[in-house]
Structure 1
Amino acid sequence: MKQRSFFYALAAGVLVLLLIGAGGFYWLRSPSPLALMSGGQMTPSAAMFVPKQAPVMVSLLVNPDRLEEGFRQAVDRSGNRGRSRVELDQVKQSLLANTDLDYQKDIQPWLGDEITFSVTSLDFDRTSQNGEQRGLLLIATSKNPQRSNEFVDLFWQKQSSEGASLEFEQYKGVKLIYTQGKEKSVASAVVGDRFVLFANNPKVLRAAINNVQAPDLSLSEDPAYQKALENITGSKIGLTYVNLPRLAKLLGNKSESSITQKYETLAIALEINRQGLLAQTALQGTAGSDTTMAPTVSQAVGALQYLPEQIAIAAAGTHLDQWRELSSTQKSDDTLSQLINQPLADLQTRWGIDVKQDIFSWVQGEYALGILPRSDRNPDWIFVAESAENTAEAGINHLDDVAKQQGLSVSSFTLENHPIFAWTKLTTVPPSKESKEQNSVRLEAKVQGVRASIGKYEIFTTSIEAMDQALKAPENSLLKSDNFQTNIASLPQPNNGYLYLDWASSQPILERQLPIVRVVELFAKPLFNQLNSLTFSSYGTDAGVQRSKVFFRLGADTKG
C-alpha cells in the first residue's frame, strides 16, 4: 500500500460521505426507527484542531452506517433500491482502493459520529523553494478507543512491512507517527480517547495540536465562524465552512472577484427532509458590512401561471432590478456570472436587444422567466412580467422601435383568441433541387420574438409555439404542479422568489452552458442519480449575512 494512498482516500472519502447519505435520503420518507430527521450533533467538535485561516472545512455529523441502516429498514417505493445500494457500495470500495484496508473490518468497529476534513493552509511550510504545500487534515471521532488504537497500529505495521521508515515523536503529550520522503508524507496522532487524526505532513499535526492548546488559534474560537453557526438553525447531518478569499486563492484565483470583495465566509448545513435533502446557507459579508434587506415575496408569484409544467428552468419573484444589479456587477470570470449572464446573452442574440436595458429596466412587479426544452432545436424562452402603469406601454413601444431598427417587422395575428405581435425577419430561401423553377427565390419570415398582453401581464417568447404553450399554461401550469408545490413547501416564506430546476430537462442545458456541472456530477453521482428537481430561494440579509436554502427533491417517481 502506497504511503499516500490511505490519507488521500480518506480525505476524498469525507467529501463524498455526505453524498452517500444523500443518496439514501430518498428512502427516509417512510418512518425510520433511527430518527435521522433530527440530525446529528450540533457543531463539529473537530473545529478546535482546525486553524482560523483554513480555506475550507467539511464535516459529516452522523455515522455513515446510520444512514445506510436507515434506508435499509425503510420501505422502498421506488424500485431502484438495489441499484442505489450497489452505487453506494462502489463509492465506499473505491475510496479504499489500493489501501489494503476493509471498511467493515478495520474502520466500522470504531468510527464515531463525526468525520471532518479540512484544507488547513495554502502552504504549511511557508517555503517558496518547494512550491505551495497544501495542509490537509482528517479528523475522525472514535466510539471504541481500543479498536481505533488497534487500527492505527495496524496501519503503521503495514507501512513498515512495505519498507517505509517510521519516525516517532512526542509533541506536547501527543504521540506522532509519520513517514517522510520525496513523495507526500503521511502522519497520524491519537488525541485522548476520542480523536484520530491523519495529515499529509507532521507539521500539519503539530499545528493542529497547537490550536487545541492555544484556543485563540482555532477555528472554533473564531468570531466569524461562531457568527456563521448562529445563522445556521435547526438539525443538520453535515456542515461545510468556507473562507471565501482563501478558497479563491486555493483554487488559483490570484485576483479578487466581486464575491470575495463583498463576502467573507460561507456556511452550508445539510438536513434531511422526507422528500429529500435541504441545504441551508449563510453568506457573511466582509468586515463593516451591516446591510439588512427584508425578503420581498410573501405569496405565490402569479406570473408563474404562464409557465407550462414542462419547463426545465424557471426563475420567479419581484423587483427584477435586483437581478439586473447582480448580473451587471459580476466579473466575467465568475461562475455565478456565467449562470446569470450566459442565458441572457443567448436571449439577446435571438432578439437583437439588450434584455437588461430594454426589458428589465421597466419591470417593477412580478416576473417569471422560464426555459422550455425542445428536442428539435435550441430551447425556447418564456418571460412574463407584471405590467406597471405608464412604464409597460412605453417599454413595449421602445421594444418595437428597437426591433424596427434591427430590420425586423412588427406584425399582428390572433392566437387562442388573443391578439399577438411578432417580430419577424425576412430572409431569402434558395430553390430546392427538386423545384421546377430553378431561378425562383422565395421569401421566408423568421420569427425572432413574440409578445402578448394578457390581463396585467406582458408575455414574451422566442417562438409562436412557446407563446401557444404560455397561453394554455394556466390550465396545467408549473404553479399548479405537485412537484413544484412540494419543492417550495420546504422553503421558508417570505423569501426573494425561486430558482427551480427540473433535473432531467435542465441537465443537458446546464452541462452545455456550465462545464463545471459535469465535474460536480462525477463526484456526487449517488445524489444526482436520485435527483428529481431542486429549488433555490434566498430569504433576506440580516446584519450583513445573506441566508438562503436549496431543496433537493430525490426519487425518480416523485414527479407530480
Structure 2
Amino acid sequence: MTAAAQRPPEPDENLQEQSSKSPLNNTTRVGKFWVGLLAVSLTLLAIGIGGFGYLMASGPITSLQKNSRPIAVSTAFVPATSPFSLSLLTSPEKLLALRQIPSNPSPQPTPQSSDQNSRELEQAKQNLLASTGIDYDQDIQPWLGNEATFALTERDLDRDKSNGQQAGYLLVVEIAAGQQPRAREFLQLYWQQQSILGNTPSSEHRSGIPILYYDRNNASKNNLAATALVGDRFILLANDVRVLRQSIRVRQTATNLAQNRAYRQTVAQLPEQRVGLAYWDLADLKTNFKTNDSKHSFAAISLGLTAAGLTADIRPTISALSDNANSVRLSREASDKTVVSSSENQQPVTALKFLPANTAIAIAGQNLPKFIATLDTAGLPRTKLPEFLQLELAESWSWATGNYAIGQTGIAEGNDWILAVSRSAEGVRALDEVAQAKGYSLVPVAIGDSKAIAWTRFKARSQDSLGGRSQRSTVANSLETEILGLHLQQQVEPQTEYETEYETEYEIFASSFPALEGALAASDNTLPATEGFTQAIEALPPGDRNYLYASWPALKAALRPTFPAISAIEAIARPLLSDIETLAATQQDDGTTSLLVQVAQ
C-alpha cells in the first residue's frame, strides 16, 4: 500500500502518558510518532543481535561496524544545542538481515522462527507508520542510504511556557547513491496524498533548498509537517517548519553538532567499531533530576554489536566528570580508589557472593552513601529502596564506604532486598541505635547456625482485619509484628590477593527472613556464578569494580515512574523489545560507562 492509498488512522489512546519536564517523555499526538521513531531506531540496533554471534564466528562482518566517517555526516543538520540525537551508521536493511540468522544456525532453520521474526518486523513498521500514510517497503526502503539521524532539536520551539512545551523533532535520512529520483518521488507522493486530503502545503526556499510544510495550525494535527530535499544526498523531515529552517542555518554557520569541537573530541575517545552514535545534553539530568550545575555538559555514546548483545559506551564531557556532587555515576572519588591491574578489575566485587542467582536487580561497588546520592540526583525516589536503607541515610550509613552489593530478589510474594556491605562494628551499632530511636526493638533471631538481629515493633491491626472474633481472640490478635529489617555478620574467605586488601567481614541486611536465608544460602547458587552474569561481565571492558546487572522487566518497572517515555516506546516497539532479557554495565577509570543489552537467543 502506498502513501496515496492509506488514510492515517486515529492514534491509540492507550499510548497517552502523563508528560514530564523532558520532551522525550512527551507523548502527545505529534510526539507519539517521533517517540516511536526513536523506539524503532533503537530497535533496529537490537533486532540483529540474535544472528550477530554466528556472523562474528563465521564471516568477516566487522565491516558492518567499520566506518570511514569519524562523525555522523547527517549531524551537520543538528544544532549543537540540541538536547538529544541518535545516528545509525549502517543500512537498516543490513541490521534487519541479521535478525533472520539464528544464533545457533542449523542447515534448515525452523519456519516458526523465521515467521516470528517477520511478524515482529512488520508489526514494528506498522506501529510506527500507521498514522503517516507511508508504506516502508514501497516508499522508503528503495532509496534509503547507510546513515540516518533522529534528533530532538528544541525542548520548546517558541520558548513560551504559557502554551506548554512544543518540542522540535528532526529526522535526517541519507539517500542511497543513484536513488535521488526515488527519494524525490517519495516526497511527491506524500504531499500529493496530503493535498487530496485537503491539506495543501506551503513552500519556500532556504539557501536554495526547497521546503514544503503545513502552516502551524495544521502542523499540530500531523506528524510529518515539513520536508526538505538537500541535493542528491539527504532528506529532512520535521514536525515543524521552524526545525528545518534552523537545521539549514546551522549547517551553513558551522553551529551544528558535526562541527562541534568538544563533541568530536569526545567521540574520538570512544570505540571505533560502532553501528551508531548518540548525543545527550546532560541538561536533561539537571532539569528532571533537580541538579543545580550551571555547566554545559553532555555525553557521547557509541553503539556497537557483539556476540553477547548490543553495547553502548557512554563518555561524558570533562565538565560532567568534574562535578562529583551531581554526576550520575556509580563510582567513588578518585582519591578513594586503589589502583589495581586490569585482571583484578575484572573480578566482581566480593559482596556479590551474597546475592542469590534469582536476583532481578544487582548493583555493586564502593561507597554506599554515594550510590544513594546518585539515586537522589537521578530523581529516583528512595521509596524504591528497602525500608532499612531509609534510616537517616546521610548520618547512619556514612561509614559504609567499602565494598557493597545490593540486590532485589523475588524470593517472597513481593520483592525482597539484600544488602551486603563491608562491616564496621561502630557503624552497625549506630544503625541499631537509630532503629531503637524509631521505636524498633533489637530481637535476636537464630537462622540456621547464624544469629541475626531483627528490627521489630508491634503494630495494631486494622478493625476490618479483626472481623467478628471473640473479645479474647480479638485481644490476642489485635497486634502484629512489623519487621523493618534483619542483619548479621558474615566472614568471607579471600580468593585473590586483591581481596585481602579489602575487608572480608561483611554485614548482611535483608528486608525479610526469606531474603536473609537466601543470602546465607547464596554460596551454593550465587548471581556471579550464573551464566548470564558471567557472559555479560566478560563482554564488557574492565571496569573499576562498579557493576549493574538487571533483568529488563524489573528495571523497566523501577524506571517507568521517572521516565514515562518508556511506556510509549514499549507500546510501539513491543514485539521487538520483548526480546530484551538483561542489562549490564561497568564503569572504567576514565569515567566511560559501558552498557550491554542482552536479548533472547
- The one-letter code of the counterpart of 1:146 is P
Which segment drifts farther, 234-243 or 122-131?
Answer: 122-131
Matches within 5 A, 1:259-298: 261=294, 264-286=297-319, 289=322, 293=334, 298=345
Which residue in the other structure is 1:333 paired with? Answer: none
Q: 2:360 aligns with which of 312, 330, 337?
A: 312
Which residue in the other structure is 2:61 paired with? Answer: 35
Which residue in the other structure is 2:149 paired with? Answer: 116
Aligned counterparts of 1:159 and 1:516: Cα–Cα separation in 2: 29
Q: 1:476 aligns with which of 518, 525, 542?
A: 525
Which segment drifts farther, 56-65 or 96-105?
Answer: 96-105
Contact 1:317/1:498 (8 A) holds in 2: yes
- The one-letter code of the counterpart of 2:516 is M
Q: TM-score, normalised by structure 2?
A: 0.77
- The one-letter code of the counterpart of 1:224 is A
Q: Quick check: 1:231 aligned with 2:279?
A: no
Q: Quick check: 1:412 aligned with 2:447?
A: no
Query: Residues 516, 354 of structure 1: CA spacing in aligned structure 2 closer, same or farther, 3 A cutoff?
Result: farther
- The one-letter code of the counterpart of 2:45 is G
Contact 1:314/1:368 (8 A) holds in 2: yes
| Structure 1 residue ranges without an equivalent (≥5) | 331-335
Contact 2:9/2:131 (8 A) holds in 1: no
Q: Quick check: 1:423 aligned with 2:455?
A: yes
Contact 1:498/1:537 (8 A) holds in 2: yes
Contact 2:541/2:588 (8 A) holds in 1: yes
Which residue in the other structure is 1:88 paired with? Answer: 121
Which residue in the other structure is 2:25 paired with? Answer: none
Aligned counterparts of 2:206 and 2:564: Cα–Cα separation in 1: 46
Secondary structure at 1:175's aligned position in 2?
A: strand
Which segment drifts farther, 180-189 or 505-514?
Answer: 505-514
Matches within 5 A, 1:374-393: 374-376=411-413, 378-387=414-423, 392-393=424-425
Secondary structure at 1:182's aligned position in 2?
A: helix
Which residue in the other structure is 2:169 paired with? Answer: 136
1:434: Cα distance to partner? 7.0
Contact 1:178/1:187 (8 A) holds in 2: yes
Q: Quick check: 1:22 aligned with 2:46?
A: yes
Matches within 5 A, 1:448-527: 448-455=484-491, 456-504=505-553, 508=557, 517-527=566-576
Secondary structure at 1:312's aligned position in 2?
A: strand
Aligned counterparts of 1:4 and 1:171: Cα–Cα separation in 2: 33
Cα distance per residue 1:395-416 (max 9 Å; x no partner):
2222333333333332334323
1:183: Cα distance to partner? 1.0
1:34: Cα distance to partner? 7.7
Q: Quick check: 1:366 aligned with 2:390?
A: no
Which segment drifts farther, 119-128 or 310-319?
Answer: 119-128
Which residue in the other structure is 1:553 paired with? Answer: 598
Q: 2:291 aligns with which of 258, 265, 287?
A: 258
Q: 2:588 aligns with which of 535, 539, 542?
A: 539
Q: 1:528 aligns with which of 577, 580, 583?
A: 577
- The one-letter code of the counterpart of 2:457 is K
Aligned counterparts of 1:104 and 1:403: Cα–Cα separation in 2: 63
1:159: Cα distance to partner? 3.6
- The one-letter code of the counterpart of 1:22 is A
Aligned counterparts of 2:152 and 2:561: Cα–Cα separation in 1: 31
Q: Quick check: 1:156 aligned with 2:156?
A: no
Query: Residues 499, 19 of structure 1: CA spacing in aligned structure 2 closer, same or farther, 3 A cutoff?
Result: same
Q: Quick check: 1:343 aligned with 2:379?
A: no
Aligned counterparts of 1:89 and 1:412: Cα–Cα separation in 2: 60
Query: Residues 12, 434 of structure 1: CA spacing in aligned structure 2 closer, same or farther, 3 A cutoff?
Result: closer
Query: Residues 125, 452 of structure 1: CA spacing in aligned structure 2 closer, same or farther, 3 A cutoff?
Result: closer
- The one-letter code of the counterpart of 1:23 is I
Which residue in the other structure is 1:242 paired with? Answer: 280
Aligned counterparts of 1:362 and 1:129: Cα–Cα separation in 2: 47
Which residue in the other structure is 2:22 paired with? Answer: none
Q: TM-score, normalised by structure 1?
A: 0.82
Aligned counterparts of 2:508 and 2:162: Cα–Cα separation in 1: 61
Aligned counterparts of 2:545 and 2:585: Cα–Cα separation in 1: 10
Which segment drifts farther, 520-529 or 437-446?
Answer: 437-446
Aligned counterparts of 2:400 and 2:518: Cα–Cα separation in 1: 22
Query: Residues 89, 413 of structure 1: CA spacing in aligned structure 2 closer, same or farther, 3 A cutoff?
Result: same
- The one-letter code of the counterpart of 1:552 is V
Which residue in the other structure is 2:226 paired with? Answer: 187
Which segment drifts farther, 501-510 or 90-99?
Answer: 501-510
Which residue in the other structure is 2:248 paired with? Answer: 209
Contact 1:121/1:135 (8 A) holds in 2: yes
| Structure 2 residue ranges without an equivalent (≥5) | 11-28, 325-332, 339-343, 492-504
Secondary structure at 2:540's aligned position in 1?
A: coil
1:514: Cα distance to partner? 7.0
Which residue in the other structure is 2:100 paired with? Answer: 72
Query: Residues 399, 39 of structure 1: CA spacing in aligned structure 2 closer, same or farther, 3 A cutoff?
Result: same
Aligned counterparts of 1:232 and 1:338: Cα–Cα separation in 2: 28
Aligned counterparts of 2:281 and 2:441: Cα–Cα separation in 1: 53
Secondary structure at 1:449's aligned position in 2?
A: strand
Query: Residues 48, 27 of structure 1: CA spacing in aligned structure 2 closer, same or farther, 3 A cutoff?
Result: same
Secondary structure at 1:258's aligned position in 2?
A: coil
Query: Residues 117, 435 of structure 1: CA spacing in aligned structure 2 closer, same or farther, 3 A cutoff?
Result: same
Which segment drifts farther, 26-35 or 63-72?
Answer: 26-35
Cα distance per residue 1:198-219 (max 9 Å; x no partner):
234444434333333332x222
1 or 2, which has the higher strand percentage? Answer: 1
Q: 1:197 aligns with which of 217, 233, 236?
A: 236
- The one-letter code of the counterpart of 1:109 is P
Query: Residues 234, 439 of structure 1: CA spacing in aligned structure 2 closer, same or farther, 3 A cutoff?
Result: closer
Q: Quick check: 1:219 aligned with 2:260?
A: no
1:439: Cα distance to partner? 6.8
Secondary structure at 2:542's aligned position in 1?
A: coil
1:158: Cα distance to partner? 3.1
Contact 1:175/1:189 (8 A) holds in 2: yes
Aligned counterparts of 2:277 and 2:141: Cα–Cα separation in 1: 22
Q: Quick check: 1:97 aligned with 2:134?
A: no
- The one-letter code of the counterpart of 2:234 is F
Aligned counterparts of 1:213 and 1:548: Cα–Cα separation in 2: 34
Contact 1:263/1:284 (8 A) holds in 2: no
Cα distance per residue 1:157-207 (max 9 Å; x no partner):
334444444545444333334443631183333222211222344444343
Query: Residues 444, 550 of structure 1: CA spacing in aligned structure 2 closer, same or farther, 3 A cutoff?
Result: same
Secondary structure at 2:74's aligned position in 1?
A: helix
Aligned counterparts of 1:128 and 1:419: Cα–Cα separation in 2: 59
Aligned counterparts of 2:239 and 2:143: Cα–Cα separation in 1: 22
Which segment drifts farther, 466-475 or 507-516?
Answer: 507-516
Secondary structure at 1:73's aligned position in 2?
A: coil
Which residue in the other structure is 1:62 paired with? Answer: 90
Query: Residues 101, 517 of structure 1: CA spacing in aligned structure 2 closer, same or farther, 3 A cutoff?
Result: closer
1:140: Cα distance to partner? 0.8
1:492: Cα distance to partner? 1.8
Secondary structure at 2:587's aligned position in 1?
A: strand
Contact 1:37/1:272 (8 A) holds in 2: no
